Chain A
Amino acid sequence: MKKAKWVVPTIYIIFLMLPIYWLLNMSFKTTTEIINTYTLWPQEFTLDNYKKIFTDSTWYTGYLNSIYYVVMNTVISVAAALPAAYAFSRYKFLGDKHLFFWLLTNRMAPPAVFALPFFQFYSSVNLFDTHVAVALSHCLFNIPLAVWILEGFMSSVPKELDETAYVDGYSFWRFFFKIFIPTITAGIGITMFFCFMFSWVELLLAKTLTAVAAKPIAATMTRTASTSGYELGLLAAAGSLTIIPGAIVIYFVRNYIAKGFALGRV
């Protein structure tokens, strides 16, 4: 019985890995092999697709652009959400519940609804095709999420902690940075993970708000696919490389995920 339990997760993981394997498989094949034959693994193993990506600047700058605005967005979201989440978890104030729900509604807004007005709005304030524009636009859904997750973590910290610190003569900001933030590192880790994740995977807004200078890798991929014929191998290689930053982030937060989830709201 104990052994049989492994069956379900194992089958599930195999199902998850199959399409990823197929993508990797394609990325190591030559274009002729992809078009002419069906093979379960590359017959003529080649690294040409990867070579092209690392030497052609239109490709690798795409990666740098993506990482740049994702990191910027994560920092802005968490920095802004920290004090707000503290306010929601500790105090009652005029309109707090409505404000909280209003924030959440922005997480619910379909990006397709916002694509066109965002384009017009960011063009009119001269931010079109900058990393800042993408980072700010992703705040629309990442800040509400960050506030939501952090509020859950902060509520699980007893209020006595705050009161003891004040009795000991700590000022508010000293308490906040020296005591409070270290006690919720797991929560901050989880929040950063989610902000990184949702900013990294989003394409519709990132693509709408950029043209050349800040174009994300995902947009480079779609445009290449449509302009220079269907170079499946190259596309597969670029796709495979987009998995790596996510995998690195997961590896770092793997211990927080299980523990952190249980503590917080998400």
Chain B
Amino acid sequence: MNKTVNQKAWFFVIPVFVLVAFNAIIPLMTVVNYAFQETFGNNVFMWEGTRWFKQIMLSERFHASLGRQFLFTFIILFIQIPLGIAIALTMPKEGVGVPVCLVLMSMPLLIPWNVVGAMWNIFALPDIGFLGHSLNALGFDYNFTQQIGDAWFTTILMDVWHWTSLVVLLSYAGLRSIQPAYYQAAEIDGASRWAIFTKIELPKMKKVLTIAILLRFMDSFMIYTEPFVLTGGGPGNATAFLSIDLVKMALGQFDLGPAAAMSLIYFFIVLLVCWVFYTLMMRNEEKS
């Protein structure tokens, strides 16, 4: 759409700008304040320069939780995106099946995150949980509170359970927007199912898939409540992702300086990845 230049449009944006600035800029400045200074309470600050940043960048603890975070996010995207597309492709396109599928599949998205964690905790307990009990009955030695592998398996399974539906909904919406004429043309040409998928469906889903990947990246990178309730970051530090580690440092140990420096580095990483995605997305949109 060709837009007209109109500077008065700013008046429409002001309420949003004020509300978000109120929430974003003032607290962010507080974080910046802590990141460069040392405090002993009572509003007494001492300038520390980049000391906290150096300390965080060189700390093994940060490297470890950053590594875990990237591994987790990568596994999540690798499972959820293809699985979501596959489910969207096999979903019914009309009839009573559509609302049934949509309502049931959206359920996990609307459960408070700590309830998701508590639910999976109860579900996976080795003695009284359905998952834990079944796995042990099948001969696996499963205990997510004590074994690192099991803790990761349970956390990933929980996230797949929780968020795959978002990818399904988005892909499904993308698929629905394809005109029937495309499929008819493909049928006349005698195209294989695979060819239809790669030549028609996938290119048409590109836009919604970018959004799905972006949202899943952001949210899995910020994950806190569910693993906190499920495993508490344990066993040991095995599932202490960035947010869990950060809250532990800021509110648990009250190391405000390093925690603030870590916050800024953390935020910067998310921002960088999202900026790359966003630019690519906008470029695609301008092309089409």
Contact = CB atoms under 8 A, between A and B. Distances in A.
A91 B105 contact: no
A81 B123 CA distance: 40
Contacts of A245: 110
Interface in A1-33: 5-9, 12-13, 15-20, 22-23, 26
A117 B251 CA distance: 11
B3 interface: yes
A20 B112 contact: no
A69 interface: no
Interface string A191-205: 000000100111110
A197 B133 CA distance: 32
A9 B171 CA distance: 14
B176 interface: yes
Contact of B243 (A94, A110, A118, A257): A110
A258 interface: yes
A210 to B, nearest CB: 14
Contacts of A258: 98, 102, 172-173, 176
Given A19-B120, A258-B172, A249 B20 contact: no
Per DSSP, chain A at the interface is: helix
A262 B112 contact: no
B106 interface: yes
A137 B22 CA distance: 9
A180 to B, nearest CB: 13
Interface residues of B, number: 94
A143 B16 contact: yes
Contacts of A105: 271, 274
Interface in B169-189: 169-170, 172-174, 176-177
Interface in B111-156: 111-115, 118-120, 122-123, 127-131, 133
Q: Which of A15, A246, A249, A255 has the most CB of B within 10 A?
A: A246
Contacts of B99: 254-255
Interface of B: 1, 3-10, 12-13, 15-17, 19-20, 22-24, 26-28, 30-31, 86-87, 90-92, 97-99, 101-115, 118-120, 122-123, 127-131, 133, 161, 164-165, 169-170, 172-174, 176-177, 207-208, 211, 218, 221-222, 224-225, 229, 242-244, 246-247, 250-251, 256, 259, 263, 266-267, 270-271, 274-275, 278
14 contacts: A9-B101, A18-B131, A79-B15, A90-B4, A90-B6, A108-B267, A110-B222, A136-B19, A201-B109, A201-B111, A201-B113, A246-B110, A261-B170, A266-B211
